[in-house]
Amino acid sequence: MNDTFLKACRGERTDYTPVWFMRQAGRYLPEYQAVRGKVSFLELCKSPELCTEVTLQPIDIFGFDAAILFSDILIPMEAMGLALEFHEGRGPVFPDPVRDREAVDRLRVPEPEESMPFVLETIRLLRRELSVPLIGFSGAPFTLATYLIEGGSSKVFLETKKMMFRAPELYHALLEKITACTSAYLQAQARAGAQALQLFDSWAGVLAPQDFQRFALPYVRSIISDLRAMTDVPIIYFANNGSTLLPHTTTAGADVLGLDWRINIGDAIRQVGDHAVQGNLDPIALFLPRQELEKRIRRLLEDAKGARGHIFNLGHGIVPQTPPEQARIAVDAVHRFSGR
Residue numbers at the binding site for ligand CP3 (CB under 6 A) = 22-27, 36, 41, 68, 70, 72-74, 91-92, 137, 153, 200, 202, 240, 317
User: HEC string of 125-166?
Assistant: HHHHHCCCCEEEEEECHHHHHHHHHHCECCCCCHHHHHHHHH
* 61 DSSP 8-state letter: H
d(CA 19, CA 16): 9
Q: Which of 28, 32, 65, 147 is catalytic?
A: 147
Q: Which is nearer to ligand CP3, 81 or 205 (CB)?
A: 205
In the bound complex, which residue of the shown chain has the CB atom lying closest to ligand CP3? 202
Choice among 32, 65, 72, 201 that is catalytic? 72
Annotated active-site residue in 3, 16, 36, 282: 36
Rounded to whole angstroms, the Cα distance separating 19 from 22 reads 10
Q: From CA 7, how far away is CA 300, in angstroms rounded?
A: 20
Active site annotation includes 106: no
Q: For the CB of residue 222, give the shortest distance to ligand CP3 in the complex, in Å.
A: 20
Looking at 80-138, list the stretches that DSSP marks H as alpha helix, in order from N- to C-terminal side: 101-106, 112-115, 117-129
CB of 305 to ligand CP3, least distance (A): 27
Which residue, 137 or 171, is less far from ligand CP3 as judged by CB? 137
- Residue 60 backbone dihedrals phi, psi, to 5 degrees: -65, -40
Query: Would residue 147 show up in a list of annotated catalytic residues for this protein?
Result: yes
Q: How far is the C-alpha of 310 from the C-alpha of 293, rounded, in Å?
A: 19
Active site residue 221: no
* Identity of the residue, 167 or 319, whose beta carbon is nearer to ligand CP3 in the bound complex: 319
Of 10, 27, 296, 299, the active-site residue reads 27
Catalytic residues: 23, 27, 36, 72, 147
